Structure 1
Amino acid sequence: MEILLYLGGILFMLIGLALSIGLHEIGHLVPAKLFGVRVGQYMIGFGPRLWSKQIGETEYGVKALPLGGFISMSGMYPPSKDTGRATGLFSKLVQDARSANDETIAEGAEDRVFYKLPVWKRIIVMFGGPFMNLVLGVLIFTVVASGIGIQQATTTVASVSECVLPAGTSQTTCEPGDPTAPAAEAGIQPGDVLLSVDGEEVDTFAEASAIIQASPGESLPVVVERDGEQVETTLTPVPAQRQEVDANGQPVVDENGDPVMNEVGYAGITSQLAYVQQPIGTGVQMTAQQVGGVASMIVTLPQKMWDVAQTVFTGAERDPNGPLSVVGVGRLAGEVAVTDSPVVNRLSTLLYLLGALNIALFVFNLIPLLPLDGGHIVVALWEGLKRTWAKLTGRRQPKPVDATRLVPLTVVVAVLMIGMGALLIVADLLKPVNLLG
């Protein structure tokens, strides 16, 4: 059964990835067709063709390796002029790219080419793919946050400690002489719902906990709901030592490196966890946070990849916040599927992974380097700036930018991407990230 669940988690992520790629390419396809560009192919995946169907002038199909996709637009670049036989590797690469581009320009459709579109239309076509991943990420995070909900500590009491255990002890059970815990002494019971603490209504356990922790040694009136009735009692938190943490949840230390301790109130209550549906805008907030996280990772990507290489060759521990390959994401999805937790927990985590994957596709594709979408956007913007400058200075309008000259750089970028992908796959097989403990 575990094997089937594991494979089911991987299949879930593969289908989600294929849909994400398909929608990404639709984000390019639809505006390209609306703007009159001839589109010869719409393909999901690379490698051998598994299935295809010709509909009108466009061939739609699926290939064997679901690691990306593409659409073939007519005339991505201006047609080349006959410059004779190329000599040298880079010159030959440029000439091959120009020849391939020329073949996409069908006879009689010379005006239905991408490079002749106004700059703003070219930007829309190239931004459309990443934008679809952004929209899909927002929708998935909205389903997770506002549909399923975010797991939170509720005001319902899960358990009440019988006693106050000595600080720093390894003792786990109460012994004769241990003082009774404040919540037990106040008569609070599992299943009670906290309504107010010290006269303040509480909607979350965090609110109740904050009041208790801020009131060591003080008598606090508490109102709970029990079996449909309100019950009043008095709770007196005992002083306890707790290490101070910063806004990021990291321990605070003094100038000597020793932990900074604070005196807080302790009651001996734990709360029940439940999925709480969040406001509809939470999905957008989660998306923004994810975009920031991925962008930060990309800025430090060389260092991250160096760390990954070290884990492969030295056996060091893998950074759980580092990049993953498709293999790593699939493996993680399989592990989530076999965890001993309720189905809703596993579904929520799988959807979160899929949402995060779409945000990674959105940010990564906007890197301003060819062959990524961001590179094509930069080329269009550069041409727009040149045309604007020529207009402002009264000069002759420049020719369209010939991006085939950047083919050598494009090849270098592509090789680096393939190399990084291969390294991540090896790392995910030999030293997988362990996020589940």
Structure 2
Amino acid sequence: MLYVLGVLLAVLGIGLSIALHEIGHLVPAKRFGVRVPQYMVGFGPTIWSRRRGETEYGVKAIPLGGYIRMIGMFPPAKDQAEGTMRSSSTGRMSQLIEETRQQALEEVQPGDDGRMFYQLPIWKRIVVMLGGPVMNLLIALVLFTGIFTLHGITVTTPTISSVNECVDIKQMGQQAATECTDDMPVAPANAAGLKPGDTITAINGAPVTTWTDVRTAIRDNLDEPLTMQVERDGATRTLTADPIVLDMPVYTDDGQVERDASGELVTERAGFLGASGSREVEQQPITAVPGLFGDALADTYGLLVKIPQKLVGVAEAAFGSAERDPNGPMSVVGVGRVAGEVASSDVFGDTSDKAILLLSLMGSLNLVLFAFNTIPLLPLDGGHVAGALWEAVKKGWAKVRGLPDPGPVDVAKAMPLAYVVAVAFIGMTLLLVYADIVKPVRLT
């Protein structure tokens, strides 16, 4: 029952995010006088719709996106705008471009002059097209601000929570056995006398304030002798350790282990001590939100850049024996399954902890929607923004040179590429949906 509840909450969150994205387009479009015949959440057959004024509002069956339909999205060909005759187009691409123009002008009615999208000033077109992604960005900002400031983030402190008794070299420093054997060396932290509850304050004379500082200092030290200043029972002690060098996992900037396209751990030769810091949840001041949110946004764009590489790993998992990368891309099906797993499993803590995880999942989803839609390619919002900016450059250059206004940029000429992008997006979606069914991401 809890699993189903988690899935339903995810579906509701995804639907609400899509609906607000389209409202981000709808409100400025109507404000600027553009006629909008349709506002739809989803694709495919219409489940429900109602007309209010000149706009039909509705919900469709497939919750993989949404759209608003504005009249005059693409300008007519230059010779058509000037009222001249043009020769018939013979190429397939030319026909595709011409069909796109005609479809954009089909709904134009008497009295619509001045109400078409392409007739808006450049800055207004940019506002309309960025309205959707910015709405997703604001949703993510609100969610993450609440999480950072009211709940907090998990940080690992330099206070020691555990010390390994020995080192299982075969497990990259992670003690797999419950008992040490004669062939396992004593862990350097254990040999140095480090104990749970000790707080490391300096390594080799350099102050440390976070576990990341401690881990970096130990790894970079390799097998050289290492001196630690520790606080124990209110007193400062100096301990000396002799780290060993192992193949250790590489960590990302946010503290997650790094994996390659196939989901395997990325490793490097690094110093190893055999101790762990304490994990605590710390509320963050509002002044820390911009930096934390900026890091989350940068990580999202970093994931987008790696999508082609990540999809290789997804395919290998879906059609082979490889495991899914928990930090890789998912479809809406995967998001729903993860939400169900969080809601139904006791591993993720009590109800408040699960609620935070689900809110974080929705925040991350909205960051992905923002980042994805700002890619400067049609049919994405960023493609229309790129077209408007290119028009601004052309008009500015013509003005500087004293030339006539070149008119609107013929964005329709980019439609062949837009179809390629759309086909690639559909293929990616189908792969992710299939993988999320046969080999879903597991958090436990």
* TM-score after normalising by structure 1: 0.76
Q: Give secondary structure in 2 for the equivalent of 1:398.
A: coil
User: What residue number does 2:4 align with?
Assistant: 7
Displacement of 1:277 in angstroms is 0.8
- Is 1:295 paired with 2:292? no
Displacement of 1:137 in angstroms is 1.5
- Is 1:379 paired with 2:387? yes
- Is 1:16 paired with 2:13? yes
Uncovered stretches (5+) of structure 2, i.e. residues with no partner: 170-174, 181-185, 259-266
What does 1:312-351 align with in structure 2 at a 5 Å threshold?
312-339=318-345, 340-343=347-350, 344-351=352-359
Whole-Å Cα distance in 1 between the matches of residues 355 and 311 of structure 2?
Answer: 30
- Is 1:123 paired with 2:126? yes
Equivalent residues of 2:198, 2:230 under 8 A apart: no
Equivalent residues of 2:333, 2:433 under 8 A apart: yes
Whole-Å Cα distance in 2 between the matches of residues 46 and 98 of structure 1?
Answer: 22
Cα deviations across residues 235-269 of structure 1 (Å, max 9, x unaligned)? 97887758596774779xxxxxx9867586x8x8x
User: What residue number does 1:432 align with?
Assistant: 440
In structure 2, do the counterparts of structure 1 residues 379 and 263 end up closer, same or farther at CA, with 3 Å as the change threshold?
A: closer
Equivalent residues of 1:220, 1:236 under 8 A apart: yes
| Identity among equivalent pairs (%) | 43
What does 1:412-423 align with in structure 2 at a 5 Å threshold?
412-423=420-431
Whole-Å Cα distance in 2 between the matches of residues 209 and 296 of structure 1?
Answer: 24
Q: Give secondary structure in 2 for the equivalent of 1:321.
A: coil
User: What residue number does 2:374 align with?
Assistant: 366
User: What residue number does 1:66 align with?
Assistant: 63
- Measured on the aligned residues, the alpha-carbon RMSD in Å equals 4.4
Larger Rg: 1
In structure 2, do the counterparts of structure 1 residues 75 and 279 end up closer, same or farther at CA, with 3 Å as the change threshold?
A: same
What does 1:14-413 align with in structure 2 at a 5 Å threshold?
14-79=11-76, 81=80, 89-153=92-156, 172=178, 222=231, 248=252, 273-339=279-345, 340-343=347-350, 344-413=352-421
Equivalent residues of 1:197, 1:222 under 8 A apart: no
Q: Give secondary structure in 2 for the equivalent of 1:133.
A: helix
In structure 2, do the counterparts of structure 1 residues 42 and 218 end up closer, same or farther at CA, with 3 Å as the change threshold?
A: closer
Equivalent residues of 2:73, 2:118 under 8 A apart: yes
Whole-Å Cα distance in 2 between the matches of residues 209 and 370 of structure 1?
Answer: 44
Whole-Å Cα distance in 2 between the matches of residues 50 and 332 of structure 1?
Answer: 26
In structure 2, do the counterparts of structure 1 residues 241 and 396 end up closer, same or farther at CA, with 3 Å as the change threshold?
A: closer
Whole-Å Cα distance in 2 between the matches of residues 83 and 43 of structure 1?
Answer: 36
Q: Give secondary structure in 1 for the equivalent of 2:108.
A: coil
Whole-Å Cα distance in 2 between the matches of residues 78 and 352 of structure 1?
Answer: 41
Equivalent residues of 1:76, 1:113 under 8 A apart: yes
Displacement of 1:136 in angstroms is 1.4
Whole-Å Cα distance in 1 between the matches of residues 217 and 98 of structure 2?
Answer: 72
Whole-Å Cα distance in 1 between the matches of residues 244 and 150 of structure 2?
Answer: 39
Displacement of 1:207 in angstroms is 8.9
Cα deviations across residues 103-154 of structure 1 (Å, max 9, x unaligned)? 2323212111211111111111111111111121122222222121112356
Cα deviations across residues 82-106 of structure 1 (Å, max 9, x unaligned)? 7587656434433332222112323
Cα deviations across residues 44-72 of structure 1 (Å, max 9, x unaligned)? 11112222222222222221211111111
Uncovered stretches (5+) of structure 1, i.e. residues with no partner: 225-230, 252-257
Whole-Å Cα distance in 2 between the matches of residues 70 and 91 of structure 1?
Answer: 26
